Amino acid sequence: MVCRPLWYGGSRSVRVFNRNRCLQPAAAIASISLVAGCGVLSDSGPDTSKPIVVGTTSAPTTLDPAASWDGSWELFRNIYQTLLAYPNGATTPQPDAAESCRFTDTGNRVYRCRLRAGMKFADGDTLDAQAVKYSIDRIRSINVPGGPAGLLGSLDQVQAVDGRDIVFRLNKPDATFPFVLAAPAMSIVDPDDYSAHSLRKDSQVFGSGPYTLKSYEEGKRAELVKNGHYQGYAQRRNDAVTIRYFQDSATMVKALRDGGIDVTYRGLAADDVVTLQRNGAENLQLVEGSSADISYLVFNPKDPWAAKPAVRRAVAQIVDRAAIAHNVYKDTVDPLYSMVPKGLTGHTTGFFDDFGDPSADKARRILSAAGIHQKVPLTLWYTTDRYGSETAEEFQELKRQLEASGLFTITLRGRPWKTYVVGYQKGEYPVFGRGWSPDFPDPDNFIAPFVGRQNALGTPYTAPEITKVLLPESRRESDRAAVVKEFEQAQQVLVDDARLLPLWQGRQYVAASDDISGGERALDPSSIMTMWELYRKTSW
């Protein structure tokens, strides 16, 4: 049988490995979407008789949008609604709860949205302009440390003009503001059920999204059912989804093989991916897509050693990204030499350009020039249950590389994500690992969240050239392809400071049973699974 590629619109490239039918050979991922036409998209329609069961190793840290700037957005996108979002194939925000949105001035400072008519929350309460204003104001009022209020730095005020019209007045030009409104943190909540000054702690949450959260067990499962009041762009191809949360990839994949789940969408370990690619399994398929997810190290300037530029630059000179990608991740990730990943406007290879290949001799000279002749003690922290099963192994590899240079003594420490977040927000860690899935597909989102006094890392990083010059200049430009110069300069500042050290750029993998379709369409530009795209085929 010959497998011919089928093309469809969108920016994400996808490969499907279906072991019962065909195998697309591994190849460089192109910028246009490709789906292997091996029966994955051909069926007689969806079977909605039972829920789709999805597995992931990424459990929410909170159910309240005002608290989260992390992977909790996976759930938010499916139960809450934002004014704008990303329909399949879109890389710029499109109307969702809104009927239309646009800048009404020439300076990108006044943004106006009009809601769809007759909008309601899942419980039947009216969703109007006041609810939108309340939701955005609430984020800023609660102002969770390291939370989504950091996305709203350019917002001056929100006005509910009438029942359906909302005006956002900005304190400076910001062409990226529509992208901010499309982030799940900007989810619209019911003012009658969400306090203006405190977070909601219970699990009886709801919004106006495609699904309602029927039940929730923290760290175990979330049951989603269709929201009968939903109005938006999503065309739901199933009636219900159950999400099961796993501690590790091996347990999740076993559940997939045993039929306990139908799909995995985050947390597949490299060994499991490679096994599926090479050996396959009866009745399983693997979808691979490009991704803007990145992994990086953060140096805390409050630590006496991490505060020294020479120490940070010496680490940057030693770290072997290619070894991490190959030895730890089995080439399921790619080395990254800039905080802006490949595929986005302005991506550079700044760390490679400045430091070249890993070299202990060059690192020794960097330290000696700064008067440092002793072994540098550093403690590296990582989360034990967030970024995949290889995280501990990755940090062991970093420890091996740094200590093999003879220049460092490394101590490793790990914590579960919930307590890990609290620790880095308090500035407890000298050096710590983070992952980043974009809030929106623009280079701004790989620089702005990490700089300034209030940022996503809990470690103030003033970077005045970036925050006062380069970012404001870039945000005046509506044509995002025209901001290459600003972001190249911003990335060079990050290289010079070496406060953030990019390590690798991920890929997206979805493993599914053979009777499931929609995996290749279910991942939006922020690497969030839109559960409504999944469905069970009734026949081939």
Per-residue pLDDT of the chain (540 residues; tens, 9 = 90+): 333 222 222 333 344 433 333 323 333 322 223 233 333 333 456 667 789 999 998 889 899 999 987 888 889 999 999 999 988 777 789 999 999 999 999 999 999 999 999 999 999 999 999 999 999 999 999 998 878 998 898 999 999 999 999 999 999 999 999 999 999 999 999 999 999 999 999 999 999 999 999 999 999 999 999 999 999 999 999 999 999 999 889 999 999 999 999 999 888 999 999 988 886 666 899 988 888 899 999 999 999 999 999 999 999 999 999 999 999 999 999 999 999 999 899 999 999 999 999 999 999 999 999 999 999 999 999 999 888 889 999 999 999 999 999 999 999 999 998 899 899 989 999 999 999 988 888 999 999 999 988 788 888 899 999 999 999 999 999 898 899 999 999 999 999 999 999 999 999 889 999 999 998 888 766 678 899 999 998 754
Q: What is the residue type of 327?
A: N
Beta-strand runs (E) in 200-352: 211-217, 221-226, 240-245, 263-266, 284-299, 334-335
Task: Report the pLDDT value the prediction gives residue 69, as an integer from 0 to 100.
Answer: 79
CA-nearest of 95, 133, 137 to 116 is 95
End-to-end CA distance of the chain: 16
pLDDT for res 25:
30
Which residues in 300-438 belong to E strands, given as ranges? 334-335, 376-383, 408-415, 431-436
Identify which of 64, 68, 59 has the alpha carbon closest to the alpha carbon of residue 202: 64
CA distance 144 to 147: 5
H or E element that contains 487? helix 484-497
Cβ atoms within 10 Å, residue 384: 15
Q: Within a 10 A sphere around the Cβ of 232, how many other Cβ atoms?
A: 21
The one-character DSSP state at 217 is E
Q: What are residue 505's DSSP bridge partners?
A: 294, 334
What is the per-residue DSSP string for 389-446? TTHHHHHHHHHHHHHHTTSEEEEEEEE-HHHHHHHHHTT--SEEEEEE--SSSSGGGG
Where is 156: in which H helix or E strand?
strand 155-160
Distance CA 245, CA 242 (A): 10
The pLDDT, as a whole number, for residue 147 is 84
